[in-house]
Each structure stands twice: as structure tokens, then as C-alpha cells.
Amino acid sequence: MMTLPTVGSRKECRRMERQMEQNKLDRINELYRKAKEEGLTDAEKAEQQALRKEYIELVRKNLRGTLNNTTIQYPDGTKKKLKKNK
């Protein structure tokens, strides 16, 4: 049975998540280059598609988080949060 390392803080947890994401981005880029040079096997195509889907979902989630925390300040000084778009 494999045990996961204990993470001491949120900062350490986020660092580990970023490292994992960087590894996935590196793999996406590696598969892209391989597809251009020599082609991919069916398993590699499926992996590439899954990684791309995961990446797009992450980008959308981050964009939603940014927009949910965005406030517009008008020239008269009033502030208004952006409305959620469905």
C-alpha cells in the first residue's frame, strides 16, 4: 500500500499542486511534439485528449474564480460586482 506524504501547510500543498500541473503541461507539450514528428498511438491520443480536457477545465475554473472576485468601479466611485453569467 502506498502512503502519501504529509503536507504541513496550504502553501506546501499548493506548491505540490503546481508541480503536478507543470508535469501535466510538460506531458501535453511532449505529446504535441511527438504527434507532429512521428504520430501518436491510440493510447497516447486518448491520454493527450484527457490531459487537454483537464487543462481546459482548470483554465475555466481559474477564470471563473477571477471573474467572481472582480469588481467594477465607476467614475462616480460606486463599485459593483460582476454578475454571474450562466
Residue range 14-43: average pLDDT? Answer: 88
Domain that holds residue 76: 10-81
How far separated are the first and last CA of the chain, in Å rounded? Answer: 43
User: Are the beta carbons of 13 and 7 closer than 8 angstroms?
Assistant: yes
pLDDT band for 58, please (50, 70, 90 cuts): confident
**pLDDT range class, residue 13, cuts 50, 70, 90:** low
Which CATH number is 24's domain given? 1.20.58
5 inside domain:
no
- Cβ-Cβ contacts under 8 Å for 54 (sequence gap 6 or more): 24
Distance CA(28)–CA(47), nearest Å, equals 9
Domain annotation covers residue 3: no
Give pLDDT tens digits for 65-86: 888 888 889 999 999 888 776 6
Q: Which residue has the cell 502519501?
A: 4
- pTM for the whole thing? 0.65
Q: How far apart are CA 31 and CA 66, in angstroms?
A: 30
Retrieve residue 82's grid coordinates.
460582476
